[in-house]
Structure 1
Amino acid sequence: MTMKLLFLVTEDWYFCSHRMALAQAAQASGYAVSVLCRVKHHGDVIRDAGFELIDLPMRRGGLNPAREWMTLVRIWQVYRRLKPDLVHQVAVKPVVYGSLAAWFLPTIKQVNLLAGLGTVFSARHWKTSVLKFLLKRLFRWLLRQPHVITVVQNRQDYAVLTEQLGLLPQQVRLIKGSGVDIEQFGYSAMPPPPLRLALVSRLLWDKGIAEFVAAARLLKQKGLQFQALLVGEPDEENIRSIGVEQLKDWQDEGVVDCVGRIDDVAAFWRSVHIAVLPSYREGLPKTLLEAAASGRPIITTDTAGCNEIVEHEVNGLLVPVRSVPPLADALERLVSNPALCAQMGKAGRTKVETEFANALVFAQTLAVYRELFND
Structure 2
Amino acid sequence: MKVCLISQNVSPGILIFRKDFIRYLVLQGHQVFAFAIDYTMDTEQMVRDLGAIPVSYQLNKTGMNPFLDIRDTYLLKQEIMKISPDVVFSFFVKPSIYGSIAAWFAGVPRIIAMLEGLGYIHTPTSRGVSFKKQFLKRVHGALCTLGYAFADKVLFLNSDDPKDLSSVALLSKKKLDVLGPIGLDLDYFQYSKPDLNKPVRFIFIARLLAEKGIFQYLSAARIVKRDYPNSEFVVLGGLDPDNPAALSKSELDKVIQEGIIIYPGHVNNVKEWIDQSHVFVLPSFYREGVPRSTQEAMAIGRAIITTDVPGCRETVVEGVNGFMVPPWDAECLADKMVYLIKNPDEIIRMGESSYQMAHENFDVKKINPELAKKVLGSL
- Pick the TM interval, shorter chain: over 0.9
Deviations 1:232-272 (A, max 9, x none): 11346766443333322322232222232321222221111
Compute the displacement of 1:66 (Å).
6.0
Task: Check conservation: 2:189, 2:300, Cα contact below 8 A.
Answer: yes
Larger displacement relative to structure 2 (24-33 or 50-59): 50-59
The equivalences for 1:338-349 within 5 A come to 338-349=344-355
How far apart, in 2, do the equivalents of 1:366 and 1:187 lie?
27
Compute the displacement of 1:106 (Å).
3.7
Compute the displacement of 1:54 (Å).
1.2
Look up the match of 1:299: 305
Look up the match of 2:26: 27
Larger displacement relative to structure 2 (84-93 or 250-259): 250-259
Look up the match of 2:152: 148
How far apart, in 2, do the equivalents of 1:213 and 1:320 lie?
16
Deviations 1:7-66 (A, max 9, x none): 111111111111111111111122110111021452221112221111234453344666
Q: In structure 2, which of residues 273, 288, 293 is the aligned counterpart of residue 287 of structure 1?
A: 293
Structure 1 111/260 Cα, relative in aligned 2: closer, same or farther at 3 Å? farther
Deviations 1:248-300 (A, max 9, x none): 23222322222323212222211111000001031100000000000000000
Look up the match of 1:167: 171
Larger displacement relative to structure 2 (120-129 or 281-290): 120-129
Look up the match of 2:98: 97
Letter in 2 for 1:138: L
Task: Check conservation: 1:299, 1:316, Cα contact below 8 A.
Answer: yes
SS at match of 1:87: strand
Task: Check conservation: 1:60, 1:237, Cα contact below 8 A.
Answer: no
Report the TM-score when normalising by structure 1.
Answer: 0.92
Task: Check conservation: 1:162, 1:168, Cα contact below 8 A.
Answer: no
Look up the match of 2:3: 5
Look up the match of 2:39: 39
Larger displacement relative to structure 2 (275-284 or 120-129): 120-129
Compute the displacement of 1:182 (Å).
0.9
How far apart, in 1, do the equivalents of 2:265 and 2:44 lie?
22
Letter in 2 for 1:46: V
Q: Kindly indicate whether residue 87 of structure 2 is the aligned counterpart of residue 86 of structure 1.
A: yes
How far apart, in 2, do the equivalents of 1:365 and 1:176 lie?
10
Structure 1 70/245 Cα, relative in aligned 2: closer, same or farther at 3 Å? farther
Q: Kindly indicate whether residue 225 of structure 2 is the aligned counterpart of residue 220 of structure 1.
A: yes
Compute the displacement of 1:225 (Å).
2.2
How far apart, in 2, do the equivalents of 1:48 and 1:64 lie?
36
Look up the match of 1:329: 335
Task: Check conservation: 1:199, 1:230, Cα contact below 8 A.
Answer: yes
Structure 1 269/59 Cα, relative in aligned 2: closer, same or farther at 3 Å? farther
How far apart, in 2, do the equivalents of 1:58 and 1:176 lie?
27
Compute the displacement of 1:193 (Å).
0.6
Unaligned residue ranges in structure 2 (runs of 5+): none
Task: Check conservation: 1:62, 1:237, Cα contact below 8 A.
Answer: no
Larger displacement relative to structure 2 (343-352 or 360-369): 360-369
Letter in 1 for 2:76: I
Structure 1 104/239 Cα, relative in aligned 2: closer, same or farther at 3 Å? farther
Letter in 1 for 2:162: Y
Look up the match of 2:188: 184
SS at match of 2:149: coil
SS at match of 1:39: coil
How far apart, in 2, do the equivalents of 1:255 and 1:328 lie?
14
Structure 1 73/239 Cα, relative in aligned 2: closer, same or farther at 3 Å? farther
Q: In structure 1, which of residues 355, 359, 362 is the aligned counterpart of residue 368 of structure 2?
A: 362
SS at match of 1:10: coil
Report the TM-score when normalising by structure 2.
Answer: 0.91
Larger displacement relative to structure 2 (251-260 or 178-187): 251-260
Task: Check conservation: 1:39, 1:56, Cα contact below 8 A.
Answer: no
How far apart, in 2, do the equivalents of 1:268 and 1:24 lie?
26
Unaligned residue ranges in structure 1 (runs of 5+): none
SS at match of 2:191: coil
Structure 1 105/66 Cα, relative in aligned 2: closer, same or farther at 3 Å? closer
How far apart, in 2, do the equivalents of 1:181 and 1:234 lie?
28
